[in-house]
Structure 1
Amino acid sequence: MPGSELYEKFMALHTRDGGLVMPNAWDGLSALMLADTGFEAIATSSAAIAATLGRLDGRHEVTREEHLERARLLSSLTGLPVNGDFEDGYGDTPEDVAATVEAAVDSGLAGIGVEDTSGDPEKPIRDFDEAVSRVRSAVAAAKGRIVVTGRTDNFIQGRPDLDDTILRLTAFAEVGADVVYAPFPPDLDALVAIVTAVAPTPVNVLVSPSDNVLTVAELQQAGVKRISLGPMLYTHAMGAVDEAAKALLAGDLASATTGMSFARVNELLARGVS
């Protein structure tokens, strides 16, 4: 599907009544499970992909090509629109971000996120002007071929400043971001303030505000247009592995070997469209 058609298809999911729930996959089987369940679009998770490789998220330990390769796999297996959770755009300069967007378009992705993170633990959030410049560069490179999400990580990087968050998200929308996103606002009031400030630009939410996990219907009532899960499905699955490992160590083979049958695994793999 040409980029412009894929863009229109993916954006239509954001602008319809209710928007969409967009869970994050990390490998071929997880993507196929989500597609089989009936989700209309999926995303990568930079944190989950990093974890599968034994690396830390947000520290430039996963390369652009490694992430693109995983995203292409999810897309080719499912045929669904795939949104790339691409950290800071994989580069030091706005030109690097633009190159990442071009690579994502060439890889057939439907969307791409660009954060204001830096990968530097000493100064994890980029300055305002630099952050806006990078989103502007992403939008210019996208040319209506891929949905661009502008994201600020203030709340998860120890900067609980709602005013600055709204300022950044508003600026991202003003330079053309199709969707904006601030993971884990402190509460529902803060979330509603964000949705109101950037309207009509669609807002993505990672699960819920940090103080309370809401229902999909409650988030939709607040005006949210896209709900993602980040690494949460991955950590849920790894929690099951953790419990099984403990049971196995204790000698409980029955508890350690419950779960999906391998026949079901093969059934899902046989449905891959690639």
Structure 2
Amino acid sequence: MNKSDMSTRLTKKTMSLFESIKHVDKNNIEYWTSRTLWKVLEYTEYRHFLPVIDKAKLACENSGQRIEDHFEDILEMVEIGSGAERSVDSVKLSRYACYLIVQNADPSKTIVAQGQTYFAIQTRIAEVQQMSEYQTLTDEEEKRLFLRTEMLKHNSLLASAAKDAGVIDNRDYAIFQNWGYKGLYGGMTANDIHLCKGSKKSQKILDHMGSTELAANLFRATQTEEKLRRENIKGKQHANKTHYEVGAKVRQTIKELGGTMPEELPTVESIKTVEKKKRKLLDFPKSKNDK
């Protein structure tokens, strides 16, 4: 078995592991508990896991979320031997809470790194699926328009986070963006991507991406913004390194899931052309039968 096969198999095993400890409440909402998660994340004692939960709660609050929406103190029954059980303090955790926990857990543990990838992907997928606008989309063009709009919004948020980290002027920001592309595209800069895709430098790369490639870049942007803010990263070099690392992690995830590398995805017509077509359809005079 080669290294790639081992990575894929391990990833599937990890996904099954985190899914196996998931619960669903009476309202059909999924959740995990701290009493099962600490063991999976290989902490020697539960008390050593409690500071990680506290850090995750702080990160939740700093991100503008209500702690009580994601962390709920509960009593949980655990086995104490010979089939007996007793009630212990535990925390009911949302998927987002688990995501924050693994981001603040011991990064030297392999299972923690895998958990970071798992919960980051699943949290983002859940966010997109929960968007009522996205659920109604029926074709590729509509998905592109939706995701391109999301990219505009989140690139603005990413620029703000980068500025707070010390990426101030336009030249520095262009360098910062290149590091993100290099991570996601296997070392390729924006100019390299233009050459690979056969597009002109005057054209915006994102305007010629299909929905799959846009989704990968959206994931890169949202995760980098969150990481810059969550870890209060300062300095241009540290910000660039963070953007590269997040891009590389998204690329690795695509590889492990058997997806197509972004640079290998086809270049499509400009999103501007799609927007014009949609506007024409909306403005086209209705026939009598359409009234």
Give the TM-score, by structure 1 length.
Answer: 0.25
User: Rg: which structure is higher?
Assistant: 2
Whichever structure has more helix as a proportion of its residues is 2
> Could you say which structure has the greater relative contact order, defined with CA pairs below 8 angstroms and 6 or more residues apart?
1
